[in-house]
Amino acid sequence: MAFVAQRLDRPSSYRDHQYKGSNDQFRRDLDYTTTLYIGNLSFYTTEEQLYELFSKCGEIKRIIMGLDRHKKTPCGFCFVEYYRREDTLDCMRYINGTKLDERIIRTDLDPGFREGRQFGRGRSGGQVRDEYRQEYDAGRGGWGHLRAKQELERQADIDNNYVAITTIPQGANMDPLQPQEE
């Protein structure tokens, strides 16, 4: 049967590179999973807000917030586990692409949560995507890490190459309204 619109209860083509198993096992896990990966969350979204939204599709087993590996603060993703597979698929159909905290969230089937996956995998501890973000996004914590790094390099360049004048050179006119003596 052909579909005019793309089905909303199908997983994306993303594959977790740290998944231990074959591609066939990954697909089988996705066929039976009750876990969703939720991305593009605001850094300020709370578990209570997530529970309120996602419980509309079914009974939630648990919510695991994604955390910055170093600071242990939310970093824009979470995992939601349902008790039933049907509730998981309903969530993908009805909640994927909706707004939460002024951000369009995305949902995707996940093969299952394992301890340690709640921590961001970026070099700075957060999400890899945020390290390449060029624009200012208050909901994601401000500038992307790349931009913040550029600002630090610029400040270091200023500190190293430009010295503040602490003494007045001889012959400099202190008062611009008085004529200079010759």
Question: Residue 21 has which token pair?
Answer: 């198993």
Dump pLDDT digits (tens) for 89-127. Answer: 999 899 988 999 888 898 888 887 777 676 665 555 555
- Asked if residue 1 has pLDDT above 70, the reply is no
Q: How far apart, in whole angstroms, are the C-alpha atoms of residue 176 and residue 173?
A: 6
- CB-based contacts of 99: which residues, under 8 Å, 6+ apart? 105
CB 139 within 8 A of CB 103: yes
Which residues does residue 99 pair with via DSSP β-bridges, in sequence order?
104
State residue 84's pLDDT score: 95
State residue 162's pLDDT score: 79
The mean-pLDDT minimum among 23-32, 60-69, 126-135, 140-149 falls in 126-135
State residue 155's pLDDT score: 82
State residue 170's pLDDT score: 76
Dump pLDDT digits (tens) for 29-55. Answer: 788 889 998 988 888 899 999 999 999
State residue 128's pLDDT score: 46
CB 17 within 8 A of CB 26: no
What number is the average pLDDT over the span 149-161?
78
CB count in 10 Å sphere of residue 37 = 21
Distance of CA 92 to the CA centre of its chain: 19
